[in-house]
Amino acid sequence: MALNKKEFRSVEIDDLTFDFQLLPQFINIGQIKTSKPWGFESHVHNNHEWLLNRKGKVRCWIDGYEFTARRGTFYFIQPGQSHKQISEAGETDHCSVRFHLYNAAKQEIYLFQPPGNPQRQVLQDRNGQLTDYIERIYKEVWKQRQGWKQIAEAIIIEMIWYVRRKLDIFPANIESSNISIHHRNIVNQAKRYLQSNLNHQVGLEELSNYCCTSYYHIGRIFKNITNMTPLQYTHSLRIAKAQHLLVKSDMTIYNIANSVGFQDAAFFTRQFKKTVGVTPKDYRLRCFPEILIQEKSVEQNQ
């Protein structure tokens, strides 16, 4: 017996739907839960970082835009954005999820075109939906049952679309940028090369040869898209890596300087203070974790 139109419905997926495809690549989760003061000075990631403050107050900066994260404040950091956090007095519970985000062509996706829109990257989780997403991701990662990584990435996709709807930002708006996909691909290629060669100084000529373009062209489009020169971008990566080593290791400052590509420890100290605002020694004294930082990472090829 045939079904009539009221009894049977089907929905087909068109080509435009595939243009909106999101492919997150989970990196790690982190949690700072303590009554002691803590802080992370200005640093830059090459991935997305989404954060939720569940308790207490934390002063935050995204590319110079300052705000206070209170209970239920959610904010997100895009690749290449500088940011820092300093806790205020009292107990805090601060959670983070870090991931890469690509489209079907393996191109990096941003919610806001670089350099971003820090004032709109802060939301108040009034209905608890974002808190629920974070807790579900944490549950999958901590338990690591079969399929946990795929489920965590599926939750990240759901979370991204929730934020897009809240902010009314969709791929159609994003793709209207006058920055061509070709230029963005070149810059992404350059960024990957700089990230993998931090231990030596990469000049514009070497970088342009690797990207098969002129040194003038790579310098211009790199600055246009990232709002930094390749040298500034390299320094930001080195300083960010140094901050991580100062907190996570017992390496000497001299060895840290060498490991991140600075051959002169005195020059490293000057650059670190210029970027972060304090010397490496003072940063370690200030941030060395007497705090609870819980983190689980997944290897890149997992």
pLDDT for the residue numbered 64: 83
* HSE-up (13 A, CA, CB side) for residue 300: 2
Count Cα neighbours of 130 within 13 Å in the Cβ-side half-sphere.
26
Q: Give the burial class of 162: count Cβ atoms within 10 A of its Cβ; 0-12 exposed, 13-18 middle, 19 or more buried.
A: middle
Instruction: Tell me the per-residue pLDDT of 185-235, one tens digit each, with 9 for 90 and over.
Output: 888 889 889 988 888 888 888 998 998 988 888 888 888 887 788 888 888
| 300 vs 46, higher pLDDT | 46
- For 29, the 3-state DSSP assignment is strand
Give me the pLDDT at residue 79, please: 85
Region 115-138: what's the mean pLDDT? 92
8 vs 245, higher pLDDT: 245
Nearest partner of 33 among 291, 301, 248, 295, judged by Cα: 291
Distances (CA, A) of 8 to 11, 14, 188: 11, 20, 47
Q: Does residue 300 or residue 270 have the better pLDDT?
A: 270
* Position 133 confidence tier, pLDDT thresholds 50, 70, 90: very high
User: So what's the pLDDT on residue 2?
Assistant: 56
Pairwise CA distance, residues 118 & 126, whole Å: 20
What are the residues whose beta carbons fall under 8 Å from the beta carbon of 219, sequence distance 6 or more? 204, 229, 230
Per-residue pLDDT for 289 more than 50? Answer: no
CA trace torsion 101, 102, 103, 109 (10° rounding)? 60
Q: What percent of the chain stands above pLDDT 70?
A: 82
- Residue 5 pLDDT greater than 80, yes or no: no
Q: What is the chain's mean pLDDT, rounded?
A: 82
- Is the CB of residue 102 less than 8 Å from the CB of residue 109? yes
Higher-pLDDT residue of 133 and 89 is: 133
Q: What's the pLDDT score for residue 224?
A: 81
Which domains are assigned to the chain? 22-174 (2.60.120.280), 182-287 (1.10.10.60)
Report residue 74's pLDDT band, with 50, 70 and 90 as the boundaries: very high
| Choice between 263 and 15, residue whose per-residue pLDDT is larger | 263
How sure is the predictor about 1, in pLDDT bands with cuts at 50, 70 and 90?
A: low
Residue 285 has pLDDT above 70, yes or no: yes
Question: Residue 147's pLDDT band (boundaries 50, 70, 90)?
Answer: very high
Q: pLDDT tier at 169 (50, 70, 90 boundaries)?
A: confident
Cβ contact 100:48 at 8 Å: yes
The pLDDT > 90 percentage for the chain reads 34
pLDDT exceeds cutoff 80 at 290: no
